[in-house]
Every structure is written in structure tokens, then in C-alpha cells.
Structure 1
């Protein structure tokens, strides 16, 4: 039997047809999620699942399996719904429906199972995973606690220490780790769906018509009461001085799981979620997350363009950051040519590469065999010899290449004027950090595509910009200029530093934040105004596509505390009328820093804020 539940329409007008399919395998019914691209548990998908379960409860089935047809079981929540109030059915209601289902419900976890996706799995009566599954509860990164019972069900399964680690550290864990702590019951190679159905049949046969054991009634993680309390106390002490309220709420919810029945614990969790949703920290973190996610999406034309093959790379010029880029390219398996006519500079760069590789070998992060293989793929010389797939120009003069078909990308920022059709990339100094791909309006898309391919190969987070950057350097310069101006006005460097630290600049999310000095408001108003004005200038120049790109760069580069959202987010919070008036007043003494960019005038005249540019992707 095969049936489709679909045909609903989401808030963007995109049909959700075929989002949930039902198949019968003997006495087991399989609910197959296929809400592309990653099974986010939107209101529409929740409604379909709930309707399917309601219909199936009255059938002659022995058990239900919930599986996915996609690469991920579920990437979690629909972030467009955050902050807009609960919509029926709520995720917590769906989880209760699954937990109270009269027949066993087994979930088959593949790929990413995050946030509400994992909460759905926790509510089921059994969990089976593919070896490649990744399970996590990343809500802490949004300044929130889980919303659908994870703080209550997870500790009942795995204990306080493992539950707190999973909820306080947003990185997911592997299927093997989940099996070790008791989060999943089995990890299987091969046909995951068939294995889940077999588990469902075994459970149904053992129950002989009795109701399955609910996670709410499990006590696996509660047996060691003293150990449970010690884990709660240790986490509370660790986060006691954090500038973010969410960690201590997570700790309190996990403590409640030991002390309260499930119904009261769920109410406690729901109250914490609602409280945190309204905090400025959660609003800032949500904005930063969404800004980062959108900033690293390439422009449409670039996203549609396929890059050529990328097996070999030439770096022209051995000055910084050439050594860091070469090291990363070798680690990614590329053949690399480092070209530098000045022998002393070439030797210095090679020494840097060798020193970092030897340190990695000593620390066990790199094997001697891998190091030797890297060196075998590295060639050096004073001129470029032989064909390569991509050239990074780290020299002052553009290269003269015999083969004009080889794409050339400047390693570093492009000038605001005279860039022509060149493309530049401001490199990340390590895998996982942020880089900026800068391109003029006439830059060849094929060359940009090679820059994107390189960034992905090296594991960089790539923000897409125009000439005149990089964004982070411009923001740092505006902040430094504002600080210098404040010093010229008589404020001391310690007072300025204390004010910025009280805002979170340079402070770990585990804190603590110092008390703001008496001049904190004066300092913060001046520094944030300077950065917002610089952001507006970059948008007007075409360096930044939208305000969110400025915010993403500020957060990703560590200039701005993540929970404060970014300078453009803070500008909207302050209000553009107030900001413009402050800029005009400050411009009397320092026009080079504070003369308001015309973008503010246009937005105020239209009754819009900076966020409107993010929504419309318009910059004029």
C-alpha cells in the first residue's frame, strides 16, 4: 500500500506535495518524510505527520516506523517560524502524540537529525541509526532551550552529564557516540529502513498488544541520583558568569527532569523557552545565525555556474598569507606551485609551512606519511612553469600568463576602483574560518566559480562581496578610528576598553562581562555609530550586498559578539532617526568617521529600516 499526504501550501507559496508518504511492510506502516530539501519540521509537515498518525492509530497495524527519503532525517526547525508565536500543531504536541501512540513507534535516523528532529526521535519508543547519522540539539546557539521535551526526555535516557553536554555544546555527535551514551538503540549498516521495520516487529511481538514503554517512564539516566546532581552542579558553576541566560536555563530544565513528573517538566521547559525567546541575546543570536546562513549563499548566477576541475593551484608571491594558503591546499590534496623570484621570501614561506606541519605531526594531527605526501605535491620556482587549474596572485603586479584561459584570482582585497573584471579572495588563515570573495560587476562568473570551488575545497566560510574590502578590515578601521577620537576627547584607553568589554567585545560567551564604566554609553554609542556608518558606506559602494553581509562578517571575524547580532542589527535597534542625529552631531568634530552615509536618508525618507534591505535584497 502506498499513499501520499501532501498538497498543502507553505507561507512562501511553494507546494509541499508528497511531503509524507506511507508504505506498508507487513504489519508495519512506514511514514516516509520527503519535505525537501532537509525535512525541516515546519507547521505544514507537523500537521501532515499528526494527521497521518491520527489516521493510522485506528488501523490494524502492529507498529509505525518514521524514516526519511532524503539525505537528512531532519535538519530541525523552520527558522522562519521563530519569534512568530506557536502554530498548531506545536512540536511539543506532535512529540506527545508520538509518545502516547498505542503501538510502537520506531525512528530510522540518517544524516542530520537536529533540534526538533531529534526531539521527535526522543519521543519515539525506539531509535535506530545509520553509521553516518549526526545527532544534535543546537538551540543553545540561538539563545534558546529545546522546545519539545528534549530537556526532560534526554536526561531520562542518558543521564544529566551526557544530556547537558549535548545541549550546551551545539556540535552534533556521531551515531556511534549516540549508541555509547544510550541515545539510540542500534546502529546498522545496510538497509536502515528494513532494520527499523525488523526492530518494530520485534518490539510489537514482545509487547503482545500492551502499550509500549514511553521515554517519559524510562529511568535509565536517573539511576545514579548523586551523579546526576553532581553533573547539574558542575554545569551550573561553569556557566554561572556567562553573559548568556540560556545555559543556566538548560541546566535548570535538566535538574527539573529529575525532580518533576514529565507533564510538569514539560511546562517548566516551555516557560524557559518563552522567556528566552524574548531576550535580546536570543534575538541577536537568531539574527546572527540567519545573517551568516544567507551571507554564505552565493549569488544566483554564481550558484548556477559549475566550476572547472580544480586539482592544481599556483600561488604567485610568497608574502603572507601565501604560506597559510599553501598549507591548507596541500592538506586538501591539491598540487601546489609556490612561485617567488625573491629567494629569501620563498625560504621564509617554506620554513613556515614546514614548522606548522612538524607541529601537527608532533601533536598527532598529521602522520609523517601524510606530511611527506604533501611535500611531494609542492613545487617551487621563480617563474610559473606548467599548466595549473587556478592561479592565486599574491604579488603586486598581475601575472602575465601564456595561457589566457587559466583563471587568475587576486589573493587579497580588490581596490574600490580600477578593478575591472578581476576577482579577489581574502583568504581564511585556517579551515573553518571566513574568507571573502570579491568581484566587480563585470567579473567573469567562471572565475568566481573557481574561487568558490577553492573555498569549499579548503573548508572556508565564504562571504560574497564587491571591490573595496574586505569588510572586516573596514569595520576594524572604523572601530579604531572611533576609539582614537574618543581618546582625543579625553577618555582613557582602559575606560574605552572596559565599555567595549561590557558589551561583549573580546569576551568569551562563558563570560563574565565586566561591569560597565560610567562612560559606557558614550563609548558604545560612538563606536557602534561608527561601525554602522561604515557598514552603510560599504553597502552604498557595492562592497556589501546587504546589511546582513556586514553583520555576518562582523560576527564571523570575531569583531562583534554573536549575541549582539552585528552593527547593522544594533543600528536598527537604536533607530535610524536617532542614529542619524547622533552621526550628524559627531560629524562636526570627526566628519571622516561620522558624516552620515546617504543610505540612512533614503531609508528614513521611505519609512524603512536596514532590515528591509535584507528582506528585499535591494540596496538602493
Structure 2
């Protein structure tokens, strides 16, 4: 007797063929599911007793997309476009009943059905762009025919998930069900379709959504212009081409265009980087502590400080549905902090992404306070006060006195030793680093910094908070700058050396943008404000060892700060920002300061090609990343990759610095570092891990699998 589980089952109920996809955990479209769907449609088509077909998912999803276990393997028949075409070609009405995720190929299956009903929990999306692909099973042709060019482009270029109500407004589905019983709701809708005459309504034949050709051409042209501005990515422009084909070509021809462009995306070198990013973003969620312990409950949170960072953290917490108490030193500072929070929501109202009532409802969960006793019931407190150890000690001493037992006490420090903060209070096991990136309500990265004496459930709580805030968490050990800022300090130093040796800051920024960064290091400095780094450098100047690595100190940034040129907020930094301009123009006076500093340092300037600048910049980043992994500050190379992609603008399509190093080849990276070391042996010291991997003929990826 064969008891093998079939991932697609067909039963007939009152002349309706119910096709159930049951492929846990998320009904991914593996080869067995594709075969099962194709066979079920053939069977329903051939059975005279069947009048209509219902496709439904078992468990928590309709179909969450492709089967990621098949990535990189040779394709097996039937291909998904053939399955979708078979569903659409059925001569009996086919209804897709959607609950939970219907993403990528899952939504393509639903769009090839003749009707769609969804429960309130449904999440519909075409996120292929995040993998360097485009929807390749007719999705780029069917979506515009259902929702028009603008909405289809928005879904495909952003990869975002759309809820049931929005999907109904767009025309992506026909009905939002009133209950969560997806099969019952689906059967009821099939009976409704049959009672209305049982028309077969093929998406390929829909013309209404694309009727106004001029309007849709404007949307396509706007998307093309927008994509051109976002340098580097391959698949978005191909998505726009496919939507153009949906407007211009008959369905079969449009589908052939889609297939050609899909195969181009598949062959693109960006695919490897994006696939690496996709898996790495899932892998970072796995830390030893999350396997060993359960998180503590989080409902009430405290945020200490209402400055830019504190206000951003507060917004992130409110957006996650938490109750927040913001603490400031006095009423005036508190009023400013709350005004900063309100400004974020007012901006969303102005963009019509929030209503005034919505803002009021959110702010009902925000309480202001000037006395630490207001944090007595908080489950978790994050301090975002001035980056000074004495100030942090004073804050934690107060928290130690007032917070309830088991409250998680977190510091948002960027550099300071969290072990020292933890060891100064009576509950070091409750202290953790939660390093947010500014603006904290927008930036995705959250470094979860693990001091020596913290308990595992506190670390697990950090990961749970990241999940609630929809952040990408990376576990980091304690050192100066943790993972991200430590590596940043090194490649920024490499940039400063290149500037003093003969490159202009504008050449270096141009190189970084050409590589795929949204901004170069000096543009970032101007955006963040040069005074922040200057304060840190002044604080460290007293302890700077003239014999320490790196022994060379570049004074150019300090010279700009001494003139009050802190960047955008002062109208000039490395660049000039006349009349509050967002984009800077090069400043001849900055180049004069650079020339003067070179002369003082006794440096004869040399010229660098863009390739030489790039090789030094990335070698410094990769080498320091290898040291961070070697010391256990990052668990694996992929943790470095995710940190640099989500916190520092490293192009996601290149996978991160460690993946990039693997693609270039570690022997090449090591050879570069050894060549640079001939000029500056103090700065360019190859990481022992890098040397070891090259000697053993291994790459960083081998450590991700360990």
C-alpha cells in the first residue's frame, strides 16, 4: 500500500474540484507541487461531473513562492509558466482562495486563475526583484492586465507585500472574505460564480485595466526614469521592459519577451550576490542564544533620550504597536523629543500614508516623563544618550535602582565597552547592546551586541524585538565599534590615506557610487555631520599612542571642522550646499586644504585610477571583516555581509564585502594587501584568517556553512 504524501490533492464536492496544496511549511512551488497542479487541472478538465475548480492552500499559506531548495539546480518539468497557462486555459471556472502569503510564483498561480478571493490575512506580492529576477511565469503580463501599469510596476519594482483590502482596491482580487475559513469562503465564491452563469474570465484576455494607453505609457516612462537613477541593478529595467511588452504586445508574444528577459536576469552576475543576500538575511536570525532560550515578554518599553536617535527608536517602537515611555532630563527637552516623534508622523500624513486619526491613535501609546520612576514597569529600556561612559554609567545606575526584576536594559552605544557598562550595576545579566542606525525608524539594521555576562534569554529578546520592529538583526561581540563601525573606521582610514596621497575626496566618492553605493564616504560624512566624528577624535586624542597602528593621522577632516564646516547642516563640509541644497558641489577651498595638508605631511601626490581606489577601499573593508570573524566579533562572514549591506550602503546585489571577496577570489585580495603593505606595512597587515583560507584553498563561504 502506498502511503506517500502527495503535496497536491484533488477531491470533488458537489461538482466542485477542490485542489489543495499541502507542501509544508509554506506550500513552496517545488517540482512535485507543479506536477500535482498540472495533473489536477487535467483531471478536473476531463471529469464531466466537475463544473468548476477551487485552488486552496493548506496550513498557513496559499503558496509562498518558489522552492528555495531548487535554487541553482537544473530546472525540472513542468516549468511554472506552463502550469499557469494550463490553469488559465481550463474551460471550467477556476477560483483561487488565498490566505496568508501568495508571493512570487504563488501570486502568478493565483493570477492565472479566473477569479480570486482572499481572507483578511492574505499577503500578495511579486518580490522577485529582491533576488535579481522578474516574475517569469506570466506575472509581468497578467499583473498589468489586472491592475494597470502603475500598480503592477510598484509591486514588482518594490517587491512589497500588499494586504487584502489594498489588493481589492487595485483589482488584484475580486472579494475579501468575511471569515478566516479559506476553504468554506472559496467554495461559497465558486457557487456564486456558477450561479451567475459560470463564465471563464481569463486574465490574458482582460483589456480594461490597460485601456488608457497614454496614462499607462506615462507610468512606464516615469518608472524607467526612476530605475535609471538607481544605479547598478539589472532586473528593474527588465521589469519595466516587460510591462511595456504587456502594453504593446499580444499576450503570447509578451510572455515570450518575459521569458527572454527572465533568462537574462538568471544569467546576470548580480544573481549570485542577491541569492547570497537572500539566504544570509535568513541565516543571521540563527544565533546560539536564540536556539538555547526563549525571549522575555515585551509590551512596555522605555526610551531614554529624545534626540534624533531616541526619537527614531521611539517611532520604531510605536510602529510595532508597543507602549513607549520617553524619558528626558527636563520638560523642555521632553517637549522637543516628542515634537521630533510627531514630525515623523506629520510627514507621513503629508504623503497621505497616514491619517490624522491614525497619528492620534499611535501617540496614545506614547508617554513622556522626566523622572526615572516612570520606567518602573518597563519590560525593556533603551538608552540613547550622549556617547560618554560617565553619562552611560549614571543612566544605568538609575535604571538599576528603579526597573523591575527581569527588565532588559539596553544601550544604543556605537563604540563604548558594554562590558564596562554592565559590570557597574547589580544585574549585568540583563544588559545588552541594541545598536540602532540613524534614522532608527527607517534603517533596517539592528546590531545585537552581546556582552560577556548577559543571559541567553536577553539576547533572544533582542532578536524578538528586531522581529517586532521588522529590522534585520546581526549578533555582534563587544569591541570598539562592534562589526559595522569597526570596519567603517578602517575603510574610511584607507580613503583618508588615498586622499592625502593624491586622490580628491570627489574621486573617492565617485568610485564608491560607481561600485554601487548610494553615496561615497565624504558625502556620508557631510550628511551625518562632521562634528560627531570630530568630538570622538578629540576625546581620543589624549590617549592616541604615536606608535600605535595606524601611526599616520590625517588632519584634513579636523581642519574642516575647525572652520565650522560640518556638512549639509552648516551649508558646507567636503562639498558646498548653497541655499540648503541636498546635493553638494565640489569646493575648491577644500582641495586647497588637502594640498596644504599633503605639503605639511611631506607627501608628493600621486594619481590613482578608479580601479586602484576601488581595490584599496574594498581590500581594507574585507581585511578588517576577516579580522572581525577571526576574533569571533561576527559569528560568520555572512554576518559581516548583512551588516555592511543593511547599515552602510554596500550594494545588496554584490552580496556584501565577504561574498564580493569570494567572487573576486581571495588570492587576488591577499595579493593586493601584500602589495599595499610594501608602502604602509603598519596599516596593511593581512588578517591571519585570510592568509589561512588562501593557503587551504578555501573561501569565506566555507565558514558560513561550518
TM-score exceeds 0.5: yes
In 2, are the aligned partners of 1:298 and 1:464 still within 8 Å (CA)? Answer: no
Deviation at 1:455, TM superposition (A): 3.3
Cα distance in 1 for residues equivalent to 2:405 and 2:142: 62
The alignment status of 1:199 with 2:189, answered yes or no, reads yes
User: Structure 2 unaligned runs (5+)?
Assistant: 386-390, 424-428, 521-606
Residues 142 and 282, structure 1, Cα contact 8 Å, conserved in 2 = yes
Alignment of 1:73-222 (within 5 A): 73-190=62-179, 191-204=181-194, 212-222=200-210
How far did residue 67 of structure 1 move?
0.9
Determine if the alignment matches structure 1 residue 575 to structure 2 residue 626.
no
Pair 1:539-2:629 in alignment = yes
2:491 to 473, 479, 483: 479
Matching of residue 415 in structure 1 with residue 417 in structure 2: yes
Which of these residues, 465, 469, 472, is aligned with residue 476 of structure 2?
Answer: 465
Aligned residues: 589
Pairwise CA distance, 1:147: 0.9
Q: 1:361 to 1:125 in 2, by over 3 A?
A: closer
Assess, with a 3 A threshold, how the Cα gap between structure 1 residues 94 and 334 changes in structure 2: closer, same or farther: closer
Does 2:12 correspond to 1:24?
yes
Instruction: Please show how residues 188-587 of structure 1 align to structure 2 within 5 Å.
Output: 188-190=177-179, 191-204=181-194, 212-243=200-231, 244-295=233-284, 297-299=285-287, 301-303=289-291, 305-314=293-302, 321-326=309-314, 328-329=316-317, 334=322, 343=329, 346=330, 349-360=333-344, 362-363=346-347, 364=349, 369-370=360-361, 373-374=364-365, 377-381=367-371, 386=376, 388-392=378-382, 395-397=391-393, 399=397, 401=400, 405-412=406-413, 415=417, 423-428=432-437, 429-432=439-442, 433-440=444-451, 443-468=454-479, 469-507=481-519, 519-587=609-677
Given that 2:502 and 2:608 are in contact with CA atoms closer than 8 Å, whether structure 1 keeps it comes out as: no
Is the 1:83–1:277 Cα contact (8 Å) retained in structure 2?
no
CA deviation map 1:362-413 (0-9, x unaligned): 44456575476345x3433267874543344665325373666544334335
Please state which structure has a larger fraction of its residues in helix: 2
CA shift in 2, pair 1:580/1:75, >3 Å: same
Offset of residue 436 of structure 1: 0.9
* Distance of aligned partners of 1:423 and 1:256 in 2 relative to their CA distance in 1, 3 Å threshold: same
What corresponds to 2:701 in structure 1? 611
Show the counterpart of 1:13. none
SS in 2 for 1:399: helix
Cα deviation, residue 561, structure 1? 1.9
CA distance 1:544–1:6, change in 2 (3 Å):
farther
- The 1-side partners of 2:318 and 2:218 are apart by 46
Normalised by the length of structure 1, the TM-score is 0.85
Moved more, 560-569 or 177-186: 177-186
- Give the distance between the partners of 1:589 and 1:181, measured in 2 at CA: 61
- The range that moved more, 26-35 or 583-592, is 583-592
Cα pair distance change 1:318/1:105, threshold 3 Å: closer
SS of 2:32 mapped into structure 1? helix
What root-mean-square deviation, in Å, do the aligned CA atoms of Structure 1 and Structure 2 show?
A: 3.3
SS in structure 2 at match of 1:436? strand
Structure 2 CA distance for aligned equivalents of residues 117 and 252 of structure 1: 22
1:245 and 1:126, CA in 2 relative to 1: closer, same or farther beyond 3 A?
same
Residue 70, structure 1, aligned to residue 59, structure 2: yes
Partner of 2:38: 50
Displacement after TM superposition at 1:327 (Å): 5.3
Q: Does 1:35 align with 2:35?
A: no
Q: Distance in 1 between matches of 2:104 and 2:320?
A: 31
- 2:379 and 2:407 in contact (8 A); partners too: yes
Q: Do the aligned partners of 2:273 and 2:655 also contact (CA within 8 Å) in 1?
A: yes
- The Cα shift of 1:273 comes to 0.7
User: Structure 1 185/385 Cα, relative in aligned 2: closer, same or farther at 3 Å?
Assistant: closer
Secondary structure class of the residue paired with 1:135: strand
Contact 1:499–1:519 under 8 Å retained in 2: no
Shift of 1:322: 4.1
Q: Distance in 2 between matches of 1:319 and 1:215?
A: 52
How many Å separate the matches in 1 of 2:41 and 2:454?
A: 53
Q: In the alignment, is the contact (CA less than 8 A) between 1:6 and 1:19 conserved in 2?
A: no
Q: Per the alignment, in what secondary structure is the counterpart of residue 392 of structure 2? A: coil
Residues 481 and 593 in structure 1, CA contact (< 8 A), matched pair in contact too: no
Q: Contact conserved, 1:316 with 1:339, CA < 8 A, in 2?
A: yes
SS at the partner of 2:59?
Answer: coil
Contact 1:409/1:447 (<8 A) preserved: no
